Chains A and B, each alone.
Chain A
Amino acid sequence: MSEPEAKKRPGLAVWLPLALFAGFFVLVMFGLFRPANREVSSAMIGKPLPAFDLRPATTDKPGLAVAKFQDGKPKLLNIFASWCIPCAVESPQLAALAAQGVEIDGIAIRDRPADVARFLATNGNPFAAIGADDLSSVQLAIGSSGVPETFVIDGKGIIRYQHIGDIRAEDVSMILGKLKDAGS
């Protein structure tokens, strides 16, 4: 709020409200035309994965522990759930990545083993290992706020990149690039 009370020189102070409104206008113009960014990105990029050791999410794949990410080889960490529709949508892209030799490990959020097994039977299983995160605790620890999300982890277990939402066909080469960067 500005004051309309201009005593000596009304010339300047009375324009203050208009100036403030102009500032507001610019700010809102920016907000309106900025690409919609509703995602909450992780602040953990560049930091090491937190310690975790998750039980297997299904019977036919091993569980997941942080030690697995310290073998010198960059990997993808895919956060998914059987109850999440975009996770099913991105499965061909994950399969394509796996076919190119990328190692993908999964974390299933709030999921039951039978549901995970059914999901993998329907959508294919590109994962090397799948840990079950029943309380979203690993999800919280790496700063992920939804499913699906895919993290690029380098050979030392450092988080290099976070992809929020499902991986589209056009994202595959970008993800491969990020993996390559993480490997170098």
Chain B
Amino acid sequence: MIAEIGLAMLWMAAALALLQLFAGALALRPGGTALIPVVRPLAMMQGLLVAAAFASLITLFLTTDLSVKLVAENSHSLKPFIFKLAGTWGNHEGSMLMWVTIMGLGGGFVALVERRLREDTLIATLAGQAFVSLGFYAFLLLASNPFARLPEPAPEGQGLNPLLQDVGLAFHPPTLYVGYVGLSIAFSFAIGALVTRDVGPAFARAMRPWVLGAWIFLTLGITAGSYWAYYTLGWGGWWFWDPVENASLMPWLAATALLHSASVLAARNALRAWTVMLGVVAFSMSMIGTFLVRSGILTSVHAFAVDPTRGSFILSLLAIYIGGALALFALRASTVTEGARFAPVSREAALVFNNVMLCGILGIVLVGTLYPLLTEAFGQKVSVGPPYFNPVAAIFVLPMIVVMFVGPLLRWREDKAARVTAPVAIPAVVAAFVLFVLVLAEPQMKLLPTLGLGAAAGLAVASVIPLFGRNLRRTPLPTYGMVVAHFGIAVALAGIASDSAFSTEKLAAVNVGDSQQVGPWTIALTGIEPIAGQNWTALQANLSASYAGGAPVALQPQARSFSSPPGQRTESALKTRWNGQLYTVLGEEAEDGRWQLRLWWKPFVPLIWLGGALVALGGALSLLGRVIRDVTRLRAESKIAWRRERQGR
């Protein structure tokens, strides 16, 4: 029953989306004002219904209803609760349902709380959101029904890929999806504002919190995903410029640029077309990235096998939405001019510089990701990997960081370079000092990590300088948000550079009782024992590790075997210290009874994810500050309105 109810609710939600689109479109026409009051409730209802449909799919997975095809193919009655839950979105149909659920809920949420946007722009936005949702509803209902039943219930489910049976990964996709799909709100805002020709500071201020919200989740999702890859894949790599990683990075780059250009638009009424463009691009990148990865067009670990019918269905959706939005942009761009110009030394100039650089990186990542596809059209296979992306990205990142030293200190409109020379000198000296020390102490260090560490040190100092000389209690939360986020970038960069500069690796075949050195650590293999988990068995190595002769700590890396479906996974064991992380992996048994151990000492590597978390925290502070400000303003306004009303009587 639950499956049928779920399907019915999905159909109803789709029908409401259609209604929402038509009501919104008609309401915008002259004489359609009567329809204005129905659009918001429609959006909220649609959000609730699709959420209920998603909840029924979750129920089916939690109860392991094996008469449902999707459950039988992707779940197993013996799976732990958390992975039954995660199984809901660990497959094509379920993840698409999650996609529309987030879109529906996002639209409903906008309808519920958005009060800043001009009413006609809001209606156009909600109609836009419904229009985009409709395509995905159609895709679900016509080509990927998650609620399809089997003719006969399966005796047992086929289980979930062992690689995905990990708590971190269970919550990684939903986080990332909220980010990806949350950007659809920015997309709809851009469409709405283009339709009603309402691109201005008020629009930017209204859009900013929504972008910020999606961006926080995207940041967290990417950070978590990178950490997951780091500790589950068992080789200590955390970013490989794999198409799927690039697919998550591209919307993030666009959204980061969008946040900053929206600031310029809000403060100075400049960069109008550019901001709207980025609003369109950000969600387009979400859609393109997801499509590229899912369609299996690009070789990636994450490809769900999508048959060409589904692939062409999604591709047509992309053509309609992205093509349509870009065409609308082109048609309206002449009426949405760039607005105020500005001096080369000003806050907005710095923001524009970094915006352009972010877009440069975005362009590079897109080109590098698609290039193998292009050469295949000419019958040649090539690979584009880290040796390309790392230096090329650095060309754009390093100047950006230098501008980040200065940007937050500059005034809007126009500033004198002389005014900021003194405060900028501090981080510049710090960066130069770090570079100098590194070149002297570690002459063999490669160029990029050296520059990275110098830039990180400088930025760490520069990011807190905007707080100097301010009354810290009266400093607005968004300013703290910016400081924390920029500091987070410095922290992450330090982690990245230090991983590539200082990590040491030790591969060894070890007898029980013997020990090995990696970096300052001495690691002894004290025993190997078999252990069993709920749906796996494992060999576990008992390691005793001591840092520079200190008290030993225990680590237990495992080699796990799963039975349904059969598969193996290494479970690394990590020991984190303030100055780095020890990473241990148990490999296979060697012929002579010794055991393969893979050991890494990675100084300061956790800074990468700490930095990512700080960036997200900065976003959260900024969002909180803006929401508080909006709520206070709304309260004050309603109070005034109430007083006026009373006086009028």
Contacts and interface: CB of A to CB of B under 8 A. Distances in A.
Interface of A: 1, 3-6, 10-11, 14-15, 17-18, 21-22, 24-25, 27-34, 36-38, 40
B330 A18 contact: yes
Given A18-B327, A21-B323, A27 B374 contact: yes
A25 B274 contact: no
B647 interface: no
Interface residues of B, number: 39
Interface stretch (B224-232, B310-318, B570-578): B310-318
Contact of B330 (A5, A14, A29): A14
Contact of A27 (B330, B363, B377): B377
A6 B374 contact: no
Contact of B370 (A18, A24, A38): A24
Contact of B363 (A1, A10, A36): A1
A28 B297 CA distance: 8
A32 B297 contact: yes
A37 B284 CA distance: 27
A5 B273 contact: yes
B519 interface: no
B288 A24 contact: yes
B329 interface: yes
A28 B292 CA distance: 8
Contacts of A28: 291-292, 295, 297, 315, 373
Nearest to B327: A18
B310 to A, nearest CB: 10
A27 B329 CA distance: 23
A29 B315 CA distance: 8
A24 B284 CA distance: 12
A120 B292 CA distance: 43
Contacts of A38: 299
A33 B308 contact: yes
Contact of A25 (B323, B330, B374, B377): B323
B434 interface: no
Interface centre among B292, B299, B333 (most CB of A within 10 A): B333
A4 B373 CA distance: 27
A24 to B, nearest CB: 7
Interface string B241-283: 0000000000000000000000000000000011011000100
B359 interface: yes
B110 interface: no
Contacts of B277: 4, 17
Given A5-B338, A10-B333, A25 B299 contact: no
A85 to B, nearest CB: 15
B319 interface: yes
B416 interface: no
Contacts of A30: 373, 377
Contacts, number: 81
B376 interface: yes
A4 B297 contact: no
A40 B381 contact: yes
A32 B276 CA distance: 30
B274 A32 contact: no
Given A17-B329, A17-B330, A18-B323, A5 B274 contact: yes
B326 interface: yes
Contacts of B327: 18
B274 A18 contact: no
Given A5-B274, A18-B330, 13 more contacts: A1-B362, A3-B274, A4-B329, A17-B277, A18-B326, A18-B327, A21-B323, A28-B315, A29-B315, A32-B297, A32-B308, A32-B311, A36-B296
Interface in B359-380: 359-360, 362-363, 370, 373-374, 376-377
A1 B363 CA distance: 6
A30 to B, nearest CB: 5
Contact of A4 (B274, B296, B363): B274
A154 B362 CA distance: 49
B322 interface: yes
A1 to B, nearest CB: 4
Closest 6 CB pairs of A and B: A4-B273, A14-B333, A18-B326, A1-B359, A31-B297, A14-B330
21 contacts: A1-B360, A4-B273, A6-B333, A10-B333, A11-B334, A14-B329, A15-B330, A18-B329, A21-B323, A21-B326, A24-B288, A25-B323, A27-B373, A28-B295, A28-B297, A29-B315, A31-B373, A31-B377, A32-B297, A32-B312, A38-B299
A114 B281 CA distance: 60
Contacts of B381: 40
B388 to A, nearest CB: 18
Interface string B97-112: 0000000000000000
Interface centre among A21, A31, A32, A33 (most CB of B within 10 A): A31
Contacts of B312: 32-33
Given A32-B312, A40-B381, A21 B322 contact: yes
Nearest to A22: B323
A29 B376 CA distance: 13
A102 B572 CA distance: 51
Nearest to B296: A36
A22 B291 CA distance: 16
A106 B295 CA distance: 37
A173 B570 CA distance: 45
A1 B273 CA distance: 14
Contact of B376 (A3, A25, A31): A31
Nearest to A15: B330
Contacts of B281: 1, 17
Contact of B318 (A4, A25, A34): A25
A122 to B, nearest CB: 23
B370 A17 contact: no
A128 to B, nearest CB: 32
Contacts of A27: 370, 373-374, 377
Contacts of A25: 315, 318-319, 323
Interface string B316-352: 0011001100110110011000100000000000000
Nearest to B299: A38
Contacts of B297: 28, 31-32
Nearest to B314: A32
Nearest to A33: B308
Nearest to B253: A1
Nearest to B292: A28
Given A1-B359, A5-B274, A24-B288, A17 B326 contact: yes
Nearest to B272: A4
A32 B311 CA distance: 7
A38 B373 CA distance: 12
A32 B295 contact: yes
Contacts of B363: 1
Given A4-B277, A27-B377, A28-B315, A14 B334 contact: yes
Interface centre among A5, A28, A30, A34 (most CB of B within 10 A): A28
Contacts of B322: 21
Contacts of B370: 24, 27
A30 B315 CA distance: 11
A6 B326 CA distance: 15
